[in-house]
Structure 1
Amino acid sequence: MKTYGLIGYRLGHSFSRQFFSDKFEKEHLNDHEYINFELDNINQFPAIFQENDHIAGLNCTIPYKQEIMSFLDEIDEEAAIVGAVNTVKVIRAKNNFKLKGFNTDCYGFEQSLMPLLQKQHRKALILGTGGASKAVKFILDKHGIEYLSATTKEKLSTNELNYEQIDGNLINEHLIVINATPLGTFPEVDTCPSIPYEFISSNHVLFDLVYNPEETLFLQKGKVKGASIKNGLEMLHLQAIKAWEIWNDK
């Protein structure tokens, strides 16, 4: 049996578990399984391998994408730059194994966002500064897209601002708006980031990392203004496919 799984805190309905379970069934991989590993804290991570000696690969979600890095033997260069890991490859040799971390969120986000952009889309406003925003920033940097990050923190870092500072001029200047917060996620579907949506136009692209519901309030408000909108479902599919490639790359 080959065991794959997801590391997280409270996982509830897991996209990853459903995605890979469906994949294993469709491809008749009867000796494969996918398990949710709910951890109250990251220090419980090593025990997973004591209880399961046939783990072949893991996904990692919030709040452990950064904390898991200290438990890994090796970290892919891109994941190290991003500062977050969402995919762990188990490399076995004889009776030993080592763990290598990757970030496939970058690939998923890049492949999902870039086809939406046109030449006028050169500045982005990222809503949120948590772990989910790290892959976003990496890809925007890669493509030379300037960005500002909105945060509720009192102490601001470079390229950060408070939501109260977002006005019409800033919205008009930043034609890419990315929700990297959990606001709007089911069941809290009546919430969204606090920005002046009245200044959103048909020139804007609104991208929401949230995928449930399919159309968040954030996206609905953009859609009414004629903006191009997209949720995080394709990104999730793409990052999962990339994780599978990594796990099976000899």
Structure 2
Amino acid sequence: MRQFGLIGRNISYSFSKSYFAEKFKNENIVDAVYNVFDLKQIDEVEKVFETEGLIGFNVTIPYKQEIIPFLDELSPEAKSIGAVNTVLIKDGKRIGHNTDCYGFHHSLEPLLESHHKKALVLGNGGAAKAVYYILDLLQIKYKIVSRAKLDNYLTYEELDEEVINNHQIIINCSPVGTFPNVENSPSLPYQLINEKHLLYDLIYNPPLTKFLENGKNQGAKIKNGHEMLILQAEKAWDIWNKLD
């Protein structure tokens, strides 16, 4: 039996296990199992690597960067991004890939209009690094927004009318608003958002976060992270099955 799975912390809610179970059923894949490996700390991944028949696994919060020292190689994308969300075991080697960038790219690009020139990225974790990579690829200039004043980041307090007007894409890469804390949202001046803005939330549960709801109420175009999640999962499956 081929073994696949997901590592992370506090991930009993995971989309991935049910998604792959449904995929295996629908596509009559009878030689594969997808498990959740809930790790309290990253060094527990060594036990995961001992799983008999392990072909690969996905990586989620908070281990997308912490997993890297445990790997033998990184794909060009993963190396550039500095974060891994998919691991392939091949010829005894542990190879890190990043399919978040693929999922984000192909779910964002169809939404872009000619005036979408600059972006605000809320957060600076592992998922955000894949977003930076794709924005660079698409030649969209961006500013990172953080609660703390770091490097050349903006703080939420600095998001005034000029900043909001000049950045027509706002991407939430923070966990703020994730189930069960569905009433929370990033501290933005939502009254300054209008129909020219595109709000993209990497969160998929709930489908309509307070961040997206606030943007929708101002006439903005909105998108949640569900399609990105499906695209990155399918890309991971391709990598595990050597289809790319």
Instruction: Please say whether Structure 1 and Structure 2 have the same fold, judged by a TM-score greater than 0.5.
Output: yes
Gaps in structure 2 of 5+ consecutive residues: none
Q: Structure 1, residues 119-166: CA drift from partner, whole Å, max 9, x if none?
A: 110100111112221011000011110101110123x113x1111000
Query: What code does the residue aligned with 1:157 have?
Result: D
Conserved? CA contact 2:12–2:36, under 8 Å:
no
1:106 corresponds to: 101
Query: TM-score, normalised to structure 1's length?
Result: 0.95
Q: Deviations over 1:77-115 (max 9, x none)?
A: 1111100000001103xxxx1110000000000000111
- What is the TM-score with the length of structure 2 in the denominator? 0.98
Q: Which ranges in structure 1 are unaligned for 5 or more consecutive residues?
A: none
The reply on whether 1:62 has 2:61 as its aligned counterpart is yes
> Quick check: 1:172 aligned with 2:165?
yes
Q: Secondary structure at the match of 1:115?
A: helix
Deviations 1:22-78 (A, max 9, x none): 11111111221000011111111111232x220011000011000101111110011
Is residue 2:31 matched to residue 1:31?
Answer: yes
Partner of 1:131: 126
The answer to whether the aligner puts 1:214 opposite 2:207 as a matched pair is yes
2:9 maps to what in 1? Answer: 9
Aligned counterpart for 1:141 among listed residues 136, 145, 150: 136
After superposition, residues 149-188 of structure 1 pair within 5 angstroms as 149-154=144-149, 156-158=150-152, 160-188=153-181
Alignment-derived partner of residue 117 in structure 1: 112
Tell me the residue number matched to 2:72.
73
Q: CA deviation at 1:174?
A: 0.3
Instruction: Give the match for residue 44 of structure 1.
Output: 44
Q: 3-state DSSP class of the match of 2:132?
A: helix
Amino acid aligned to 2:119? A
Contact 2:9 2:40 in 1 (8 A): yes
Return the alpha-carbon distance in structure 1 between the equivalents of residues 218 and 29 of structure 2. 46
- Give 4+ residue runs of structure 1 displaced > 2 Å after superposition: none
Q: Which residue of 1 aligns with 2:83?
A: 84
Q: Percent identity?
A: 51
Letter in 1 for 2:82: G
